[in-house]
Structure 1
Amino acid sequence: MVVAVANVGSGEDELSYGPAGYKGLIKEPYILSLALFASIGGVLFGYDQGVISGVLIMNNFGKHFPLLANDPDLQEWMVAVLTLGAMFGDLINGPIANRISRRWDLLLANVVFLIGSIIQAAAMNIPMIFVGRFIAGLAIGQLSMVLPLYLGELAPSNIRGSLIALQQLGITVGIVIAFWLDYGTQYIGGTGDGQSEVVWRFPLALQCLPSMILGREEETVSTLLRLRRVPTSDPRIRLEMLNIKAAVIFQQESTEARFPGVTSRFTLALNQYKELLLVRHLNRRLVIAYVLQIIQQFTGINAIIYYAPQIFVAIGLTGSSVSLLATGVVGVINFFSTIPAIMFLDRWGRRKVLMTGAVGMGVSQLLVGTLYAIYKDSWLEHRAAGWTAAVFVWIYISNFAFSIGCVNWIMPSEIFPPGFIVALITPRMLKSITFGTFYFFLEFCIILLVWVYFCVPETKGVSIEDMDKVFGGNQGSLDLSRMADIRKRLGIHGGYSLSCDEYKSMDQDLDKGVEFSHEEM
């Protein structure tokens, strides 16, 4: 079993296993393969996001569900119920991941997603669609919480950013598959009244496939050696194992000190949630994670992903085939623009990437909104303007993908996904304030730029154990003293050495999960 490498230390011992970015990933093929496998959860997330936009405009779907096809308010709720479910799934998943382990939490989320997907694909009425999408949303919320955590615990600090960015790459892969599958299946039986119901049931059913193959299990010290690809005698492995042991002892002792007499897991979880609001360095992390997620959504990404066909029709790209084709390009650009972040994010730094993306997204929203304002009543006479607007939508997607689309998985874990609101209000905004919708999203791009510049610390290359220094944490001098004592007891200091017997004993202690309360992944 894999130990969660969430070290809390003095920072005097730096662990480095190689270069940052794509060079570091190339040197760690085993970690990369595990991360790619785990990122199938991101594929599920992206696929379910992308598939619904094409399904909504399919002729046969409208024949089966005429009320849903002709009621914009009901459509809004159909789209938004997925992220509503994700909000609840993400909120309740912390205690679940700690209780049953990362690996079993991933498997549980996939079972839940499978159930939701089957209900959607077999839907005979509107309530079945809503229930299926809500259940799938619960699973997506679980995955959005546990996957970055799992990937972050796999990685040494030099490639942590790139590794977690694979989650976003998985999402883009899912979106690409969904968009182009929608585009292809629309021709089954024709695009008119003879269109087959397979055109929408098959895309909804296909999402069951990746959820059936996700899950994996490993062993403790041997796994760490395989992850780091160094021999047992390597001093960095010994130091990391000691840091792991220090971390789990620290967690146990500090939990007992902060919550004396609390034995109930439920009560402990409630007290820990309360700490997020009351402890200074924790609520600072909470605010950064929370605000980052809100701004990420209100830059307009879900408006593009969920309603891309409608938006392209609104800017003059007439015909379902044309709008779906333009939507498919969104997915392709989203995918390829994520790759630079995976390759270079650990070199560029989080702040620089966020601010660059904010400028690119803001300029794109400004130009799309302006074109919309000028030509909203005469798109057919100005097709070039429509295609220009489409190009800037694609430029927006590119800037989102390499910046906040990746960084929002890497910064402190998101508390809950607020995309529910954006998915619900976007059609109303497009209808009532038209071009003002893009100016609204532009405002949040500007807010992102200013907020990151003044408020968000850089976390590039910062080890997990040193992250508390960035946020002024470690529960004050008492926790620092406790960790120093633990490190002294374990012999973590300059010039330390371990005998083979001591190392084997440490290994056996780490395998005693109950004693040290460490977490499987």
Structure 2
Amino acid sequence: MQQPLSFDRERTESTASQSTSNTLLDALSDKPSNLVWTLTFVTSISGFLFGYDTGYISSVLVSIGSDLNGKELSIKQREYISSATSLGALLSSILTGFLADLIGRKFTLILSDLLFIIGALIQYFTYDLNEMIIGRLIMGFGVGLGSLCAPLYISELSPSKFRGRLVTINCLAITGGQLIAYSIGAIFSNLSHGWRIIILLSLLPCIIQFISISFFLPDSPRYLIMKNKFNDAIIVLKKIYPNSSDSLIHSNVEELQQLNLLWNNNDNIFQKLLSSWIELFSISSNKRSLIIACGLQAIQQFVGFNALMYFSSSIFELVGFKNSTFVSCFIAGTNFFTTIIALFIIDKIGRRKILLYSIPLLFSSQIICALSFAHIDINDINNNNNNIWKYILLISLIMFEMFYSIGLGNVPWQQSELFPQKVRGLGSSLSTATNWFGSMVLSYFFLSLMNSISPSLTFLIFAFNTLISFIFIYYLYPELSGLQLEQVQDLLSDGFNVSKSINLHNDSLNGYQLINQH
């Protein structure tokens, strides 16, 4: 099968919503295969690096002292350092999706590792503020590539009924990276130049991923089919669905080829990029997918979570906790263990329902945070030692973390399931860029905002954003759990169809049960 399978558009449109072979393959899979598990864990190292980066900077900012240019860091310099990675991730994520379509998911992650290594080494050896910022920027390029490509890679290899929890493993790796970064920060931050050790340790998982992906893992079947590498796609699909027949695997390859109308192979790189842009913004279902994906990624940032992760040590130092980095471990630990809960329930309960249950609780915790800050004098740390409100603040921030991580911390990264193959890379790029734009804005202005309008009003702004996000999700976000990647475009073709999506979700669960019974 070396030539593209023949098909016509009329046949494609008539079968686009059926995904028959995919449904059968998923029903025959009682658990993810060894290849799927291996690729998920190796690819999720990108998530770990993403999390480690957001976690270690919190302890570095309070322990770096006068090591850079012989001066203590000002508030604005802290914001420059923390936001540099977000800026780099924003810039790289804009093109990551197209790059992933051009060179593959596998080689995009390899490039991500190389950029991360270069950025980390610059930070480790520098004694200059500007070089530190440059190192963070280059590391950000790598983080941007990995944050988009890792969940995309996993979602394209995963059977649909396991897709939610497998992508959530990447989110779990993010929270695990944050927890380990905080823990290592608590150990090394009191040592002379201990912050350099914290940065250097990030190279170990990066090197492991680089070697594993380079030599042992294949690209995704959908990408291989997109490049007309059908024999390679069949080999990979047999490893994903080891209990399936050869005829069913071949049917699946043919179906994916029919469902995913792609570029003319004679087009150059600019024609392909232009074609994707036109396709994304001219087809109604793609535009709705983009609204949902970008909306969820914006929500994930503007409810204030990453500001908390970047500056939790600074916040606890501000309100009078002596070992602020150690206290921050409670935040990271809550994030990690709550994500484990999300891992087991996301495909059973559904993405939409998890968000609608968790967001009101998140809103409540933000209101308590604002109330707590209103009773704390941040200008007189000594008087806060016996202030009960700083402990209420700690509890409310833990609640913030808990209700965020079970919903908004995970669901937006399911973004690739919203887009058809031809625009999946570009659509994921724009939505991931939205996330990193929000992260950059928050990390650049958060401390200044706390200082200028007060921490209490800052968290009230976050709470207002959370309220708006609930309205957005209630009316516009359909239930996509259990649906095939190729079904979503049909669902969104004539509206957001929230009610219809819930019925399809229930039907898919019942369908798997019926097929398994027979």
Q: 1:185 to 1:352 in 2, by over 3 A?
A: same
Q: Deviations over 1:172-204 (max 9, x none)?
A: 11101110001001243xxxxxxx21x011111
Q: Deviations over 1:261-298 (max 9, x none)?
A: 97221232134224433432222211211121111101
**Which of residues 470, 475, 480 in structure 1 aligns to 2:491?**
470
**Which of residues 237, 240, 251 in structure 2 aligns to 1:224?**
237
**Counterpart of 2:135?**
132
Contact 1:117/1:136 (<8 A) preserved: yes
**Counterpart of 2:171?**
168
**Which of residues 212, 234, 239 in structure 1 aligns to 2:207?**
212
Runs (4 or more) in structure 1 with deviation over 6 Å come to none
The alpha carbon displacement at 1:232 in A equals 3.0
Contact 2:32/2:240 (<8 A) preserved: no
**Counterpart of 2:268?**
264
Aligned-residue CA RMSD (Å): 2.4
Q: 1:383 to 1:209 in 2, by over 3 A?
A: same
**Which of residues 15, 18, 43 in structure 1 aligns to 2:23?**
15
Q: How many residues align?
A: 443
Q: Deviations over 1:99-145 (max 9, x none)?
A: 11111111111011111111111112112111110000011111111
Q: 1:159 to 1:438 in 2, by over 3 A?
A: same
The alpha carbon displacement at 1:460 in A equals 1.1
Q: Distance in 2 between matches of 1:72 and 1:64?
A: 16
Q: Where in structure 2 are the equivalents of 1:250-261 lying within 5 Å?
A: 250-251=261-262, 255-256=263-264
Q: Distance in 1 between matches of 2:83 and 2:19?
A: 47
**Counterpart of 2:255?**
243
The alpha carbon displacement at 1:236 in A equals 4.3
Q: Where in structure 2 are the equivalents of 1:394-433 lying within 5 Å?
A: 394-411=398-415, 412=418, 413=428, 414-416=431-433, 417-418=436-437, 419-433=439-453
Q: Deviations over 1:329-359 (max 9, x none)?
A: 1111111110121111011111111122211
**Counterpart of 1:436?**
457
SS at 1:160 equivalent: helix
The alpha carbon displacement at 1:68 in A equals 6.3
**Which of residues 273, 279, 285 in structure 2 aligns to 1:281?**
285
The alpha carbon displacement at 1:30 in A equals 3.4
Contact 1:51/1:203 (<8 A) preserved: yes
**Counterpart of 2:55?**
50
**Counterpart of 1:393?**
397
The alpha carbon displacement at 1:16 in A equals 4.5
The alpha carbon displacement at 1:362 in A equals 0.7
SS at 1:220 equivalent: helix
TM-score norm. by structure 2 comes to: 0.81
**Counterpart of 2:314?**
310
The alpha carbon displacement at 1:368 in A equals 0.8
User: Mind listing any 5+ residue stretches in structure 2 that lack a counterpart?
Assistant: 1-12, 219-231, 419-427, 496-518
**Which of residues 181, 206, 210 in structure 2 aligns to 1:178?**
181
**Counterpart of 2:473?**
452
SS at 1:375 equivalent: coil
Identity of aligned residues (%): 26
Q: 1:463 to 1:473 in 2, by over 3 A?
A: farther
Q: 1:97 to 1:293 in 2, by over 3 A?
A: same
Contact 1:157/1:463 (<8 A) preserved: yes
Q: Distance in 2 between matches of 1:38 and 1:27?
A: 15
SS at 2:481 equivalent: coil
Contact 1:158/1:461 (<8 A) preserved: yes
**Which of residues 90, 95, 98 in structure 2 aligns to 1:95?**
98
Asked if residue 110 in structure 1 is aligned to residue 121 in structure 2, the reply is: no
Q: Distance in 1 between matches of 2:19 and 2:102?
A: 32
Contact 1:165/1:341 (<8 A) preserved: yes
**Counterpart of 1:504?**
none
Structure number with greater Rg is 1
Q: 1:247 to 1:17 in 2, by over 3 A?
A: closer
Contact 2:33/2:239 (<8 A) preserved: no
Contact 1:315/1:389 (<8 A) preserved: no
